[in-house]
């Protein structure tokens, strides 16, 4: 569990990196192959979703995340072995200022909590991050907590994330698609490509799960789908 000061440092870094250049965003990395997972939440319980940190429930046909602990967002995880994938889902910020979609591998011991990569969504910014070789890599994670090595850590983080300005309205449904193929990640919002990142940690051979981390009250999620990615060579 992160203490408050460490969490503040990490959140500041996550949401302060420069925006990705417009011409660096490919139209597509992959086509949708085999469907690995699908959930429309048309039920009363969490089903296969696991509450790693409490604050998730299913209500009115959507997954609702609310931060219950003051020092960390709620975490709801689904276990689906994957490598190159296309993930789509709908979301609505219903009082929450931000949430993360995070890909993990608990068997990878080289990064904090086995974090591999993420898309961090906030009202005014969306960030793509390589956690494995970036902010969550064990040595960098440790360096960031020490004022003597903080500057050196920030140099190691160059190229491990990209961000784009956003203007997300509260209580409006949006649709996001995340494509990961090899060491590349592409993100689209409501059918428009908005972000791209090329970084070595993205090519980690096994993402054994993904989860949503929700801060504040509330983020709603619906229609989560995960496909095996079929690289299209574009």
In this predicted model, what pLDDT tens digit does every residue of 138-153 receive, in sequence order?
999 999 999 999 999 9
Supply the pLDDT for residue 24. Answer: 55
**Size (the chain), residues:** 234
pLDDT at 23 over 60: no
CB 185 within 8 A of CB 83: no
Between residues 18 and 71, which one has the greater pLDDT?
Answer: 71
pLDDT value at position 27? Answer: 78
Q: How far apart are CA 152 and CA 156, in angstroms?
A: 7
pLDDT at 74 over 60: yes
Q: Judging by beta carbons within 10 Å of its beta carbon (0-12, 13-18, 19+), is residue 84 exposed, middle or buried?
A: buried
Domains in the chain: ranges and CATH: 4-231 (2.60.120.560)
pLDDT, the chain, mean = 91
Whole-angstrom distance, CA of residue 163 vs CA of residue 21: 9
Strands 192-198 and 85-93: unpaired
Q: Is the pLDDT of residue 25 over 80?
A: no
Beta bridge partners of residue 217, listed in sequence order = 66
* Eight-class DSSP state of 146: S
Q: Is 14 helix (H, G, I), strand (E, B) or coil?
A: helix
Q: Are 3 and 137 in contact (CB under 8 A)?
A: no
For the chain, where are the alpha helices, taking DSSP H only?
Answer: 4-14, 138-144, 150-156
Q: Give first-to-last CA distance, the chain, whole Å.
A: 41
Q: Sorting pLDDT into bands at 50, 70 and 90, what band is 13?
A: very low
Number of helical (H) and strand (E) elements in the chain, helices listed first: 3, 15
In angstroms, what CA-CA distances link 26 with 30, 32, 190, 196, 215?
A: 10, 16, 16, 7, 30
Q: Kind and range of the H or E element at 168?
A: none
Residue 135, C-beta contacts closer than 8 angstroms, at least 6 positions apart: 10, 13, 14, 129, 141, 144, 157, 160, 161
Q: Where are the beta strands (DSSP E) in 20-168?
A: 30-39, 50-53, 56-59, 62-66, 74-78, 85-93, 98-104, 115-122, 125-130, 161-165
3-state helix, strand, coil in the chain (%, to 5): 15, 50, 35
Q: Is 58 in a helix, a strand, or coil? A: strand
Q: Does residue 22 carry a pLDDT above 60? A: no
């Amino acid at each position: 569990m992160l203490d408050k000061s460490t969490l503040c440092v990490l959140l500041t870094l996550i949401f302060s990196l420069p925006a990705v250049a417009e011409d660096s965003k490919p139209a597509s990395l992959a086509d949708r192959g085999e469907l690995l997972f699908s959930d429309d939440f048309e039920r009363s319980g969490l089903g296969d979703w696991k509450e790693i940190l409490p604050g998730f429930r299913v209500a009115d046909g959507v997954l609702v995340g609310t931060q219950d602990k003051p020092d960390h967002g709620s975490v709801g995880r689904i276990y689906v072995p994957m490598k190159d994938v296309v993930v789509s889902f709908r979301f609505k910020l219903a009082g929450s200022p931000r949430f993360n979609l995070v890909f993990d591998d608990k068997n990878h011991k080289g990064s904090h909590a086995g974090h591999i990569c993420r898309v961090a969504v906030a009202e005014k910014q969306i960030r793509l991050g390589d956690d494995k070789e970036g902010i969550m890599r064990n040595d960098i994670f440790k360096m960031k907590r020490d004022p003597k090595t903080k500057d050196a850590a920030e140099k190691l983080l160059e190229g491990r994330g990209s961000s784009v300005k956003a203007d997300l309205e509260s209580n409006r449904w949006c649709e996001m698609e995340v494509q990961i193929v090899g060491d590349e990640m592409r993100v689209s919002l409501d059918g428009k490509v908005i972000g791209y990142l090329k970084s070595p940690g993205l090519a980690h051979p096994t993402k054994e799960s993904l989860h949503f981390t929700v801060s504040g009250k509330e983020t709603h999620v619906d229609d989560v789908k995960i496909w095996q990615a079929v690289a299209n060579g574009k």
